[in-house]
A and B are shown apart, each in its own frame.
Chain A
Amino acid sequence: DIQMTQSPSSISVSLGDRFTITCRASQDIGNYLSWYQQKPEKSPKLMIYRATNLEDGVPSRFSGSRSGSDYSLTINSLESEDTGIYFCLQHKQYPRTFGGGTKLELK
């Protein structure tokens, strides 16, 4: 199975700040990486698919990128509605596997 190592596990950020979450894949997943946001008591919501593609309706302050086996989600100019838990998912092969999650809180 492909292991997805996500960091950091939690982070406190100030409004307007920029921050980045990273997932490292244990083997090549060829950009088949998606990012999800989860609010308390809600289902995960797809934010970015195939590493860099923004889902419809997702604000442009969100972006995805890749550097080698590291995939990153960046939020420019954090807004209060961006708090929650973010997960990465590799969908190169089954079993699909998730990262452990990053809890984003406001400082």
Chain B
Amino acid sequence: QVQLKETGPGLVQPTQTLSITCTVSGFSLTSYYMQWVRQTPGKGLEWMGFIRSGGSTEYNSEFKSRLSISRDTSKNQVFLKMNSLKTEDTGVYYCARDGEYYGYPFAYWGQGTLVTVSS
């Protein structure tokens, strides 16, 4: 079955770079878009960006200048990197995938990884 699991650093210092890995199983990254969503106390749930099945990316303009999404299809992994972290970036970061047909958004989620930005 479809499974997604995020792993992250837990604690990141302000101004540093966040790196999170999403490891998937039960499907191929070359067949589905993979999305990143975060949940922060200040802004709630926010769509961050995605990587298409073909490997191109789109980002929310809120993060565009500091966000990068990539993948390693051989390892079934998707990566999120965000630089210049601020305390307001503290929250839970999720990878997610749409369902099997159009109009079926974020049908699958990872369990999320809590990121705390603090010195």
Distance (Å) between the CB of B35 and the closest chain A CB? Answer: 8
- Chain B residues proximal to chain A, CB less than 8 Å: 44-47, 58, 60-62, 94, 99, 103-107, 109-112
Q: Quick check: A34 and B106 within 8 Å, CB to CB?
A: yes
Q: Within the assembled complex, what's the spacing in Å between the Cα atoms of A36 and B94?
A: 14
Task: Name the residue in A34, A42, A44, A55 with the highest tally of chain B Cβ atoms < 10 Å from its Cβ.
Answer: A44
Contact (A32, B103) CB under 8 Å given A43-B109, A43-B112, A95-B60: yes
1/0 per residue A60-103: CB within 8 Å of B?
00000000000000000000000000010101001111101100
Chain B interface, >50% SS class: loop
- Chain A residues proximal to chain B, CB less than 8 Å: 32, 34, 36, 42-46, 49-50, 55, 87, 89, 91, 94-98, 100-101
Q: Within the assembled complex, what's the spacing in Å between the Cα atoms of A46 and B98?
A: 10
Q: Quick check: A91 and B111 within 8 Å, CB to CB?
A: no
In the complex, what residue of chain B is closest to A51 when comparing beta carbons?
B103
Q: Within the assembled complex, what's the spacing in Å between the Cα atoms of A97 and B60?
A: 10
